[in-house]
Chain A
Amino acid sequence: MLNPIYMETVVKQLPVNAEGYLLDATLWTPEWANEVARSYGITLTDKHFDVLNWLRKKQAEGVALTIRKVGASGIVDIKQFYELFPGGPLKVSSKIAGIPKPVSCI
């Protein structure tokens, strides 16, 4: 699982795990985020980046991220979160934010 594979992007190759999550959150760049978002059919806006930065900040603080916490962040409500990152918002946004896959059930 943890054998790094390399993600082919026009921006920069960054090591990701088998599921595509960035192995080292500090390597993250907005350009890389754009590239990953594009593979999900998402074009990142400022609102997206507000959420991504919030996720990165909270993850760095050691907070276990949940959809409920994102909804209470004051940046987006839960409905907007689902709209911004369709197809599983917490997983998709975490991948784009370059942080590990969330382990929450709620």
Chain B
Amino acid sequence: MIDTLDKPVTLGNALPATKNEKKLKRMLIICSKGKLEDVYAALVLANGALMEGLEAKMFFTFFGLEAITKKKADHLHTATVGNPAFMPGMPTMVAGLPGFEAFASYMMMKEMDKLDIPHVTEFLQMIEAGGGEIFACKLAADMFHLKKEDFLPEVKDIITVGDMYALADGEGTQIIFI
């Protein structure tokens, strides 16, 4: 407060919070799922953190790795079976018909295009451009036989769980697991 005493009281509201006042500094978003909606949740959270002036780190593991592989990133699907919130009343048998999931995912992408939501690869580029860092899980990458060259160029490194925790080191970090 001392540094504001020499200024008019009303000015305080117009000024940004000083760094000391801001407790939240860094977000670590762990994405372990490869469904369209889960990946987008992770991307929106990471990008949103950057937009608020926070640091953002992303750690993709298990099926989440699909979101950062060159082949699959822009071809993620939403689950039509085992997802009660998806078209309630739709019989599971119908939702499981061949091509249904691809069609539903296509429709979902179309709706997102209308809202000007970028595709996964562009979203990752935006996050990198904003200073965010994107990592892949070593154990999962080994399991799925994925190498550095299989991942998008925005992926900074393939790291262990210990390295991932090091990313979250420091005061004011929050971890979100998806």
Contact = CB atoms under 8 A, between A and B. Distances in A.
Interface of A: 5-8, 16, 18-20, 36, 39-40, 66-69, 71, 77-79, 82, 86-92, 105-106
23 contacts: A5-B13, A7-B14, A8-B7, A8-B8, A19-B13, A20-B13, A20-B14, A20-B15, A40-B16, A66-B116, A67-B130, A68-B122, A78-B126, A78-B130, A87-B16, A88-B51, A89-B130, A90-B51, A91-B51, A91-B52, A92-B16, A92-B53, A105-B48
| Chain A contact residues, majority secondary structure | mixed
Contacts of B14: 5, 7, 16, 20, 36, 39
**Interface centre among A66, A77, A106, by most B CB within 10 Å?**
A106
A106 B10 contact: no
Nearest to B123: A106
Contact of B129 (A6, A69, A82, A106): A82
Contacts of B93: none
Contacts of A71: 126, 129
A90 B130 CA distance: 11
Contacts of B161: none
Interface in B130-152: 130-131
A38 to B, nearest CB: 10
Contacts of B130: 67, 78-79, 82, 89
Contacts of B47: 67, 106
B53 A88 contact: yes
Nearest to A83: B131
A78 B122 CA distance: 11
